Amino acid sequence: DAGITQSPRHKVTETGTPVTLRCHQTENHRYMYWYRQDPGHGLRLIHYSYGVKDTDKGEVSDGYSVSRSKTEDFLLTLESATSSQTSVYFCAISAKRGDTGELFFGEGSRLTVL
């Protein structure tokens, strides 16, 4: 199993509050990703990182920010959560060659915004 840990695994919060999800890897992989999974949409890329302090936007980045201060941790922040951000969030890492490699996913974090 790829060494990926997401926390928290479940969270319920209220609209307007900030939320941070953490992804921790023990594989020393360069590339890390945040996806969200919603019914009827599959998985959609929010942000990704190609190195420490190097991040870029995915297709659904509005309302989200990320940070990567060290190789093993990739944080996803919702500055002011909205009900449309209720979703299951998956972190993923790439194998050694990021431009060809399959992604390995964490167990997911279920976020409910009331």
Partner 1 sequence: AQKVTQAQTEISVVEKEDVTLDCVYETRDTTYYLFWYKQPPSGELVFLIRRNSFDEQNEISGRYSWNFQKSTSSFNFTITASQVVDSAVYFCALSERGLAGTASKLTFGTGTRLQVTL
Question: What's the count of helices (H) and strands (E) in the chain, helices before strands?
Answer: 0, 11
Cβ–Cβ < 8 Å for 31, 94: yes
Residue with tokens 């009331």: 114
**Between 18 and 101, whose beta carbon lies closer to partner 1?**
101
Least CB distance to partner 1 at residue 110 (A): 9
Which of residues 7 and 17 has its CB atom nearest to partner 1 in the complex? 7
The rounded distance, in Å, linking the Cα atoms of 32 and 74 is: 7
Backbone angles phi, psi at 7, to 5 degrees: -145, 145
Choose between 14 and 107: whose C-beta lies nearer to partner 1: 107
Q: To the nearest whole angstrom, how small is the minimum distance from the Cβ of residue 85 to partner 1?
A: 19
Minimum distance of partner 1 from residue 13's CB (angstroms):
20
The alpha carbon torsion through 8, 75, 87, 45 (nearest 10 deg) reads -150
Which of 43, 75 has the CB closer to partner 1?
Answer: 43
Please report how close the Cβ of residue 81 comes to partner 1 at its closest, in angstroms. Answer: 21
Phi, psi of 12 (to 5 degrees): -120, 130
Interface residue list for partner 1 (CB under 8 A): 31, 33, 35, 40-45, 48-50, 56, 58, 88, 90, 94, 98-105, 107-108
